[in-house]
Amino acid sequence: MVFLPVIPMDRIALNERKATGSTANISFRHEDKIYISASGTCFGTLKEEEFAVLDLKGEHIAGPKPSKEAPLHLLMYQKKGSGAVIHTHSFYSTLWSCLPHESMIDIMPEHTPYLKMKLGKVGLIPYAPPGSRELFGLFEEHMEGSDGYLLQNHGPVVGAASMMDAFYAIEELEESARIAWSLRQVDALIC
């Protein structure tokens, strides 16, 4: 198997509140294969042998059972040309995904310039149950015009050229959502 790209898994995992338990998934592309964390794995303890191997069409060709959300990752590779994809259920991003938004194409306010610099526009994907065909269909239907995504009432999906770029983007998305939520609370107190 291919060695995992160097990523700060401890920063993504529990101590940064980006992922808890076994609720997130991560993948990367190497040549003509996709390596995705197996179903039920934990970022904080993820090992090389806990990655499933898929071809570019999504066929499982080696390793353990892939995450049930592998089709989200595949769409990021096929439609966005990503080299790595991270999906978490991080607190503030998920919280922000639960609110009503005027635009589905870019739902994050620009309180700082960094989210646009690291990721771009963040679209909202309407709710459907995790791992469902309905979710995958909605994701594909609403990908256009956005660079990263919040699955409504679920969490973020971010792709980038490299694993580190995807990590920096999802970290910036979570921080931007935290700032937006905090400022929303301040506005509520002032009014």
Give, in degrees to the nearest 5, the angle at Cα 100 between 94 and 103: 100
Alpha-carbon span 96 to 100, nearest angstrom:
9
Active site residue 149: no
Active-site position among 69, 171, 172, 174: 69
Active site residue 114: yes
Alpha-carbon span 160 to 118, nearest angstrom:
9
Alpha-carbon span 76 to 68, nearest angstrom:
15
What DSSP string runs through 49-74? GGEEEEETT--EEESSPBPTTHHHHH
Cβ atoms of residues 162 and 168 within 8 Å: no
Active-site position among 31, 35, 48, 114: 114
Active site positions, annotated? 69, 114
